[in-house]
A and B are shown apart, each in its own frame.
Chain A
Amino acid sequence: MTTTTEPTVAPMVGIPRRELRDRLRDLIPRLVLAPSFALMLVFVYGFNLWTLLLSFTNSKAFTNLNLVGLANYQKLWTWTFQADPPSNWYTALVNMGLFGGLYVAFCLFLGLTLAILLDQKIRGEGILRPIYLYPLALSFIVTGTAWKLFLDPRIGLEKAVHDLGWSSFHFDWVVNPRMMIYCVAIAGVWQTSGFVMAMFLAALRGIDSEILKAAQIDGASAYATYRRIVIPIMRPVFMSALIILTHMAIKSYDLVLSVTGKNPGGAAELPSTFMYSYTFTRNQMAVGSTSAVIMLMTIAAIMIPYLYSELREKHQ
């Protein structure tokens, strides 16, 4: 790596006896970081570029380098607006919006609510906290399968309620292709909101109690304290939670497959499943790569301005 072999311009060049030690001290972090940096460079950014290249080819089952210009992008662009009957890409985008929006919003809301309630110095917090956090220890495929069975009208929730005597109860979202994506969101929220809660709880515990006492003395209600003081202080945590949730939503793949059961009616498509199926099962690798590039660009378009504004504020 060039970064490690470059002679370090140490700030204390003027003192020759100490030079070696200082140089070494400066070098060690770089040396330690170099392998992971190199791996990232090749396996993340290198393959990003490779995918970008493939998206301009007509690769099918195997990669090839026959350039076809923007043909694949044009294909996806037309599919973006093909709503009746919905193209797979259109469905994927709509579902991404629905699933991503609901997942992030509900996780943040539930996570914050649970954290605030747990922060009221209640008894048994030590037991409750891990209970809420536990779902995160499951893999998404387990969560998905469990929720699929739980929501299945023939054996799960609907049948249980019928057995209890409420026979007009009807809940068949998981077998209704149009409603399936909401079930994916339910399963996702169940899995992750405990984790978001833990993040918020840690932040709540980190708030200086002097500030809260001052607010109390000023006569602020509990609601006003949270609304005007606590939540604004936790802004960086919101950002971390948002970033984590957004990328989990975008990359979620096993969850949607396990809840929906292999995409009936093509109604449970997400960009990630679209990318995988075109690349690996439909032998249209170029189209798959194109969708991957579009996903990356979309994320970048959202995250870069946000990160930029957040980081700049910190510097000021």
Chain B
Amino acid sequence: MMFRTMLMAGAMAVGALGISGASAADNKEVQMLHWWTSGGEAAALNVLKQYLAKEGYAWKDVPVAGGGGEAAMTTLKAMVAGGNPPTASQILGYFALDYAEAGKLADVSPLAEKEGWAKVIPTALQKFTTTSGKWNAVPINIHSVNWIWVNKPLMDKIGGKQPTNFDEFVVLLDKAKAAGAIPLALGGQPWQEATMFDSVVMSTGGTDFYKKAFIDLDERALKSETMKKSFDNLAKLRGYVDPNYAGRDWNLATAMVIKGDALLQVMGDWAKGEFKTADKEPGRDYLCYRFPGTDGTVIYNTDMFALFDVSADRKAAQLALADATMNPDVQSGFNVIKGSVPARTDVPDTAFDMCGKKGIADVKAANAKGTFVGSLAQNYAQPPAIGTGAYHDVVTKFFHGEIKTSNDAVAELVKAIDAAK
């Protein structure tokens, strides 16, 4: 098997470059495992593919049966366990750290130092791209979850203005309700409710509280009055959704805002892709605000490429991929299409729309101020056992009334987190 791949690699190199003789031939193929298959995502990834093609590297997708991220993670686990890792894989949050701790990732620190990545990638994010000072993953984008997406014509009709704190937010939602529109488009699935709750906690308690509760898992903070108030605020939002929200997919909720059935949606900036597909312009058809009371903070998640410890002949291609991913032009081109913002703070924002420009400025400012924090719902504050596990459970059970009071909710949250540790 090994022999055959090497032979093939050799044959390819000979064919492509005309090199003959006994020199160790580099494998010019980048094997990439990812689940960006939908139109916009694939187009964004094409920017990277084309850049690599210019450098003379061939791109090969690793097929994943079933599509989504979960299936891909299962495939990846099997490939790594079988000793045949891809050159790189799209990866989320703590999964990267799991592989790093298991010693399965490559070390690209020399390249990182040469290119000065540590200076341009937000500090908090580097937690996921480095382990004990070694670089073993590269971030391609930054998403953030504390956004609201507002239908502009509807906003104008009800005479609403940008809310700057939670109380004003409630006033705005009331206005929409009085006008007969659905105030809040929500998909009642655990991850969507939890993602919204990230913003609610940030808005209610501020950055320091968010960090204490969700990053440090400080029990006093988790049980505090502020956390109870956050749950109470979440309960208030329950009054503004339509009766059929349970189980709705997020993009259908976005469609309700696009069509003007609903005033707004609280969702990460991947929602922008839906507006774009529907030919909607920011500022004209829709508005992007930070979740009221969270302006100046960024609750992020990011897509990274984990670089696996591959055989020596594949290292050059891997370095080329890492270098290309961090290239400012690639970052700009990719993120303009994907709707996210570049993972490095020094990329010019000229090609981006107004929401993207705001996103880039926010990331820069938040990184400088220390208000750039990981999303608990998206597993960037805690490992999945706590994020997807304990947190999603308690938030969704509270939102759907299985947990009745905010008192019970904080008690359950602490209990569930302890059980998941």
B190/A262 in contact, CB under 8 A: yes
Q: Does A261 contact B (CB under 8 A)?
A: yes
With both beta carbons as reference points, the residue of chain A lying nearest to B400 in the complex is identified as A265
With both beta carbons as reference points, the residue of chain B lying nearest to A265 in the complex is identified as B400
A residues 21-75 near B (Cβ < 8 Å) are 60-62, 75
B246/A265 in contact, CB under 8 A: yes
Bound-state CA distance A153–B242 (Å) is 11
Residues of B within 8 A of A169 (CB): none
A264/B402 in contact, CB under 8 A: no
A282/B420 in contact, CB under 8 A: yes
Residues of B within 8 A of A280 (CB): 70, 73-74
Residue of B384, B397, B399, B403 touching A283 (CB-CB under 8 A): B384
Binding-face segment, A99-107, A174-182, A207-215, A231-239: A174-182
| Distance from B233 Cβ to chain A, minimum over Cβ atoms (Å) | 19
Whether A75 touches B246, Cβ cut-off 8 Å, given contacts A85-B402, A265-B396, A282-B385, is no
Residues of A within 8 A of B16 (CB): none
Q: Does A86 contact B (CB under 8 A)?
A: yes
A262/B191 in contact, CB under 8 A: yes
Bound-state CA distance A244–B76 (Å) is 33
Q: Does A154 contact B (CB under 8 A)?
A: yes
B residues 231-264 near A (Cβ < 8 Å) are 242-249
Residues of A within 8 A of B412 (CB): 85
Bound-state CA distance A213–B103 (Å) is 77
A263/B419 in contact, CB under 8 A: no
B246/A176 in contact, CB under 8 A: yes
A266/B385 in contact, CB under 8 A: no
Bound-state CA distance A266–B70 (Å) is 19
With both beta carbons as reference points, the residue of chain B lying nearest to A152 in the complex is identified as B244
B384/A282 in contact, CB under 8 A: yes
Q: Does A249 contact B (CB under 8 A)?
A: no
Q: Which 7 A-B pairs have the closest CB atoms?
A: A261-B247, A265-B400, A282-B389, A262-B189, A175-B246, A264-B246, A264-B188
Residues of A within 8 A of B247 (CB): 148, 174-175, 180, 260-262, 264
What sequence of 0s and 1s flags, for each residue 85-111 of chain A, a beta carbon within 8 Å of any chain B beta carbon? 110100000000000000000000000
Q: Does B110 contact A (CB under 8 A)?
A: no
B388/A281 in contact, CB under 8 A: yes
| Distance from A89 Cβ to chain B, minimum over Cβ atoms (Å) | 11
Q: Does B160 contact A (CB under 8 A)?
A: no
Residues of A within 8 A of B281 (CB): none
Q: Does A255 contact B (CB under 8 A)?
A: no
Q: Does B102 contact A (CB under 8 A)?
A: yes
Whether A284 touches B420, Cβ cut-off 8 Å, given contacts A86-B402, A174-B247, A260-B247, is yes
B243/A85 in contact, CB under 8 A: no
B189/A264 in contact, CB under 8 A: yes
B397/A85 in contact, CB under 8 A: yes
| Distance from B66 Cβ to chain A, minimum over Cβ atoms (Å) | 11
**Contact count band on A:** 20 to 34
Residues of B within 8 A of A283 (CB): 94, 98, 383-385, 389
Bound-state CA distance A11–B245 (Å) is 71
Residues of A within 8 A of B404 (CB): 85
B residues 383-411 near A (Cβ < 8 Å) are 383-385, 388-389, 393, 396-397, 399-404, 408
Residues of A within 8 A of B244 (CB): 152-154, 172, 175
Q: Does A185 contact B (CB under 8 A)?
A: no
Residue of B243, B248, B388 touching A282 (CB-CB under 8 A): B388
Bound-state CA distance A62–B187 (Å) is 32
Residue of A262, A264, A265, A284 touching B385 (CB-CB under 8 A): A284
Q: Does B169 contact A (CB under 8 A)?
A: no
What sequence of 0s and 1s flags, for each residue 278-295 of chain A, a beta carbon within 8 Å of any chain B beta carbon? 101111100000000000
| Distance from A148 Cβ to chain B, minimum over Cβ atoms (Å) | 8
Bound-state CA distance A266–B188 (Å) is 11
A61/B397 in contact, CB under 8 A: no
Q: Can you list 24 A-B contacts with CB-CB less than 8 angstroms, sorted by A residue number?
A: A61-B95, A75-B419, A85-B397, A86-B402, A152-B244, A153-B243, A153-B244, A172-B244, A177-B400, A180-B246, A261-B187, A261-B188, A263-B190, A265-B397, A265-B399, A266-B396, A266-B397, A278-B389, A280-B70, A281-B384, A281-B388, A282-B388, A283-B384, A284-B420
Residues of B within 8 A of A277 (CB): 388
Residues of B within 8 A of A60 (CB): 385
A61/B98 in contact, CB under 8 A: yes
Residues of A within 8 A of B95 (CB): 61
Residue of A88, A153, A175, A262 touching B393 (CB-CB under 8 A): A88
